[in-house]
């Protein structure tokens, strides 16, 4: 049984859900009920939601394209979309904060070393070039790789966005010209090593602890599958 606050829409429903959650944990975990609001990793299943779409992205050079699948298969992946000039506190900065927290926790946990990658894909390929994004790559390491990707153009980006179910629009000035602000809903995708989206976190519920709990559940799932081989 997996109880979270993702369905919470108002104060009353939050209170009710909180009481139900604590009641469940009191019954199942005794005195340890208050230690966590999450079920233990591996005790619940994250269903397959959708397969990550095919696409082409660039990282180090515009002359060296990569298939998107090379960043969404082979390891558990936490992926979100951003752009370098985003200033909406509930947008890219919020995603950045979540990723920073997850990145730090992965580095502290040897069981996650080399098994999880973080990916940011730019919504503004005209501005966020590989050279500009290189500024962020110092955060990446072999223990917890963090990739900053872009695309050749809006056309290549659109096919990926459509496949991921994310819609964007552009703010325009009085002359009908883009101001540089890109309007989008914050979504963070948890992807398993086979390239399937297993969870989508949005502005309704974003918490690093939830993502880490789900990541650990996927690692345990992988371990069980490997044991059967």
Does 45 fall in a domain?
A: no
CATH number at residue 198: 3.40.30.10
Yes or no: say if 79 and 189 are a contact pair by the CB < 8 Å rule.
Answer: yes
Does 42 fall in a domain?
A: no
- Kindly state whether residues 32 and 57 are assigned to the same domain: no
| Distance separating alpha carbons of residues 37 and 169, to the nearest angstrom | 36
Does 164 fall in a domain?
A: yes
Q: What is the pLDDT of residue 176?
A: 85
Residue 9 buriedness (CB in 10 A; 0-12 / 13-18 / 19+)? exposed
The tens-digit pLDDT sequence of the chain (229 residues) is 444 434 444 444 443 343 444 344 334 434 343 345 779 998 999 999 999 999 999 999 989 999 999 999 999 999 999 998 888 877 888 899 999 999 999 999 999 999 999 999 999 999 999 999 998 887 788 889 999 999 999 999 999 999 999 999 888 889 888 888 898 889 999 999 999 999 999 877 778 999 999 999 999 999 998 876 6
- Kindly state whether residues 182 and 149 are assigned to the same domain: yes
- Kindly state whether residues 162 and 205 are assigned to the same domain: yes
- Kindly state whether residues 23 and 118 are assigned to the same domain: no
- Kindly state whether residues 2 and 111 are assigned to the same domain: no
Does 198 fall in a domain?
A: yes
- Kindly state whether residues 31 and 58 are assigned to the same domain: no
**Overall number of domains in the chain:** 2
Give pTM, 2 decimals: 0.81
Residue 63 belongs to what domain range? 50-228
Q: Rounded to 5 degrees, what angle do the CA atoms 68, 71, 75 make?
A: 140
- Kindly state whether residues 96 and 181 are assigned to the same domain: yes
- Kindly state whether residues 29 and 71 are assigned to the same domain: no
Q: What is the pLDDT of residue 205?
A: 77
Q: What is the pLDDT of residue 129?
A: 95
By C-alpha distance, which of 25, 24, 21 is closest to 4? 21
- Kindly state whether residues 76 and 142 are assigned to the same domain: yes
């Amino acid at each position: 049984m997996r109880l979270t606050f993702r369905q919470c829409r108002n104060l009353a429903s939050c209170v009710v859900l909180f009481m139900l959650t604590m009641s469940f944990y009191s019954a199942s975990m005794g005195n340890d009920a208050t230690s966590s609001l999450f079920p233990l990793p591996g005790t619940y299943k994250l269903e397959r939601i959708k397969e990550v779409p095919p696409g082409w992205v660039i990282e180090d050079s515009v002359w060296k394209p990569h298939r998107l699948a090379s960043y969404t298969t082979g390891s558990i992946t936490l992926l979100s979309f951003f752009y370098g000039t985003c200033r909406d506190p509930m947008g890219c900065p919020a995603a950045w904060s979540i990723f920073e927290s997850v990145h730090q926790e992965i580095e502290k946990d040897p069981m996650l070393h080399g098994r999880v990658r973080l990916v940011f894909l730019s919504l503004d390929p005209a501005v966020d070039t590989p050279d500009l994004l290189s500024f962020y790559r110092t955060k990446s390491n072999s223990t917890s790789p963090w990739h900053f990707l872009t695309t050749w153009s809006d056309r290549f980006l659109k096919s990926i966005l459509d496949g991921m179910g994310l819609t964007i629009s552009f703010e325009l000035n009085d002359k009908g010209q883009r101001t540089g602000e890109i309007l989008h809903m914050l979504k963070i995708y948890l992807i398993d090593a086979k390239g399937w989206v297993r969870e989508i976190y949005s502005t309704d519920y974003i918490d690093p602890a939830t993502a880490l709990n789900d990541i650990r559940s996927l690692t345990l799932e992988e371990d069980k599958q490997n044991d059967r081989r």
